[in-house]
Structure 1
Amino acid sequence: MVETAVAKETNPNTENVYTPEPTKEQASAIEPLITKAGGLGDDTKEAIEQVRGTSENEKDDLFSSYQNNTVLIMYAEDDVSKKNTANNVTLSFENTDSPRRTAEEALHEVSSIIPSDAVIVREYTADESRDVVQYESKDLALQMKGYYDFATTLDPEAKPGTFIVILKHDDEGIFSVVVGIGSNP
């Protein structure tokens, strides 16, 4: 897997979407993240903002916009710890210099915002404008334990650590990606 900072230098399509991965010195000062650059399952919002910068929208603790509205993150508050954990991340390519991506380019960009231990378990077409890649992550299962404990009471088949990447596309390519916990697009 190519690191984000390298991809940004060699692929102009990634312009304005991602910040480079933190240096080793920066990473040691940031709360432990389960992603490379702040994304799904990372705890807390403050840790993500150490990588992505301050949220661009009004003070809303559960929804933040970063990098010229190209990275949108929704947070779920844990009732016990009161920490805000990222449970949904959207990458919007429409506000970038190159508004469309190939599936390969989009999945490469997604690789920095999903848990580093994620493994693909299934790929399918949801409908004519959405393709889905389903993953599993042990780190996400631990980080979002309360969410998955609740989800399995509603759906006994739900597996902790499951999340999906939805590639939204048209005839010109992929214009956005939604990453969320669970398995239902």
Structure 2
Amino acid sequence: MSKEKNIGVPKWVKDSLSNSFQQDGKELVYIVPVKKTALGRFFGTVNQDGIEIFEATNKKELNKVDELFFRDWESASAEHFFIKAQFIFQKDLFSKELIVEDKAKEIEAIIRQHVPVQVTQRPWWRKVVGFRSKTKWKMVVASIAYLYIFALAAEFFSENKKDNVQTAASSVQQEENAQNTRAMAQEKNEETPTPPPPAQEKQEEVKAPALLTRSGGLGDTYQAFEKQYGENAGTKDMARFSGDYILPMFVNDRAWNVLVQFEATDKPRRTLEDANSYVQNVIPLDSKKIKKWKLDGNRDVVMYHSPSLANLFDQQWFGEEKPGTFIVILKHDENGIFSFTVATGNNP
């Protein structure tokens, strides 16, 4: 049975990559362990452009060995295991594999903003180490190992049960003695009036913070999103509301990136007028349009500025732009607009 690698990222790796990206003025969302070859330690930097892969040497050096840009691919498939996940990107006859060993769901959500992702479903037992490959000898070895572990656990709990029985008998005797003592004390204090309990102070209801937007969007808090859209099916950093209709990402409890997917509704394509009305619901109320341009054949970009947004995030979240700057990316095909993203800064 193969031994799983430690999925942690050393501090020196985080510091080195974070400083490098900051000096280059590039966005950095996640740093995660990735599997590249059987030997070596590899780490991936994840942002809205794609994933860059670095190999860590014994001398604490990082060498870039590969990169994957989302714009280069037409589709992707995802297969999740207990610890890691495998993504396969495809375009025409070409494909590329990526195996991440942490934050698989969060990375999948970022990939979905750029290419469609088909998730491969497995029964739970196919996700267990030793059963994933369906190789007979691996399954036999894994079964023996798991039975041995279960036997040790059963023996451990059996010994604990014996100790608990003895402890319980002692506790019963102690409780009987305590009851007798309380009864004697009660007889002495029957005529002593009991003072009324102090009045409990009325707890103030925790109010949700005021919205920066009309219905919950860029710059709003995680609590505000829960109040507006209900239960979160994702994580607190990478949330999923209303059946994946709205997918916000948070830093310091504030949404810095919000993806709205019309494809997750019963009306998967919208007109420009309809889409713009939805945009106005998720951008700050004091937003002013700065400029608009066409990024490519399927994406249009609109830049805005919001004074109320300026003090919510550090400068790094706005790139080289003035604090409070953000963009809206409208994605469309020949049938209409199918999604849009609102994000701080100016990097599409």
TM-score scaled by structure 2? 0.40
What SS class does the counterpart of residue 126 from structure 1 fall into?
Answer: strand
Report the CA distance between 1:142 and its aligned residue.
Answer: 1.8
- What RMSD, in angstroms, separates the aligned Cα atoms of the two structures? 1.6
Report the CA distance between 1:97 and its aligned residue.
Answer: 1.3
Q: Which residue of 2 aligns with 1:23?
A: none
Q: Which residue of 2 aligns with 1:177?
A: 340
Q: Which residue of 2 aligns with 1:129?
A: 298
After the TM superposition, which segments of 4 or more aligned residues of structure 1 sit over 4 Å from their partners? Answer: none
C-alpha spacing 1:31/1:63, structure 2 compared with 1 (3 Å)? same
C-alpha spacing 1:151/1:41, structure 2 compared with 1 (3 Å)? closer
The aligned amino acid for 1:139 is: S
Alpha-carbon distance in 2 for matches of 1:98, 1:30: 31
Q: Which residue of 2 aligns with 1:41?
A: 219
Q: Which residue of 1 aligns with 2:322?
A: 159
Residues 1:108 and 2:286 are matched in the alignment: no
Q: Equivalences for 1:1-185 in 2 at 5 Å?
A: 29-42=207-220, 44-57=221-234, 60-77=235-252, 84-144=253-313, 146=314, 148=315, 150=316, 155=320, 158-185=321-348
- Count of residue pairs brought into register by the alignment: 143
Alpha-carbon distance in 2 for matches of 1:47, 1:169: 29
Percent identity (aligned): 41
1:17-76, Cα deviation, whole Å (9 max, x unpaired)? xxxxxxxxxxx942122111111011x21122111112023xx22011111111000011
C-alpha spacing 1:30/1:95, structure 2 compared with 1 (3 Å)? same
Alpha-carbon distance in 1 for matches of 2:317, 2:276: 26
The aligned amino acid for 1:93 is: F
What SS class does the counterpart of residue 31 from structure 1 fall into?
Answer: coil
What SS class does the counterpart of residue 64 from structure 1 fall into?
Answer: coil
The aligned amino acid for 1:135 is: Y
Ranges in structure 2 where 5+ consecutive residues have no aligned partner: 1-205
Structure of larger gyration radius: 2
Ranges in structure 1 where 5+ consecutive residues have no aligned partner: 1-27, 78-83
Instruction: Determine which structure has the larger helix proportion and give its number.
Output: 2
What SS class does the counterpart of residue 107 from structure 1 fall into?
Answer: helix
Report the CA distance between 1:126 and its aligned residue.
Answer: 0.5
Contact 2:299 2:330 (8 Å CA) reproduced: yes
Greater relative contact order (Cα 8 A, min sep 6): structure 1 or 2? 1
C-alpha spacing 1:123/1:64, structure 2 compared with 1 (3 Å)? same
The aligned amino acid for 2:209 is: E
Contact 2:208 2:223 (8 Å CA) reproduced: no
Alpha-carbon distance in 2 for matches of 1:151, 1:88: 10
